[in-house]
Amino acid sequence: EPGPYINAALILIKLGDLDNAQQLIDLVLKLEPDMPMALHVQAKLFQKREQLGAAYETLLKALSLDPDNTVHQNTLLEWGGQYYQQGKIEMAFTIFIALLKHNPNFQEAHYNLGVLYIQTENYGRALPALQSAVGLTPQDVDAQYALAGVYETLGQTDLAAEHYAYVLALQPNRTDAKTRLDFLLSQP
């Protein structure tokens, strides 16, 4: 049974014993080379060893073999966020775009992709990503605020004001949204 080996490998990864975890996963992959959860753990090992390309490719393979598994999707989302925090912007872009190919309704991936586009000042591409995020989860205050900011940057002040107002409806004490809305409403 591969399950106990996979679980043991995950525990060993958490303990930092990557060599023994690798031995266990190698055993499982030798018996079942396309087992999604074994590939998932292999990807985690690659990531721990800073082999980001191999980690991404292996996890993507696990996702392609088991596309509805949210464990694979959420791990990729987490990695995208980590890579962004580490300044590995291209890797973060690659991950969020790949996630959306597998799951076009993954709201967090749309939001994170939109934020990345904002960070790189590509507002034209941020707009549809954030529109999708807000369309999927209208009550996401951060996505609403980011979308309002993009509309404001693109000169679409009526839409910006509408979304800032919606942010305030969801979170009345959000002073940054109130400040932006007051500014927009004070313009001729």
Q: What percentage of the chain carries pLDDT values higher than 90?
A: 94
The model's pTM is 0.86
Q: Let me know if 100 is exposed, middle or buried by CB neighbors in 10 A (0-12, 13-18, 19+).
A: middle
What pLDDT shows up at residue 1? 86
Which of 110, 171, 119, 113 is closest to 137 using CA atoms?
110
Average pLDDT over residues 42-49: 95
What pLDDT shows up at residue 40? 96
Average pLDDT over residues 4-26: 96
Q: What is the pLDDT of residues 128-164, one digit of tens each?
A: 999 999 999 999 999 999 999 999 999 999 999 999 9
Across the chain, mean pLDDT equals 95
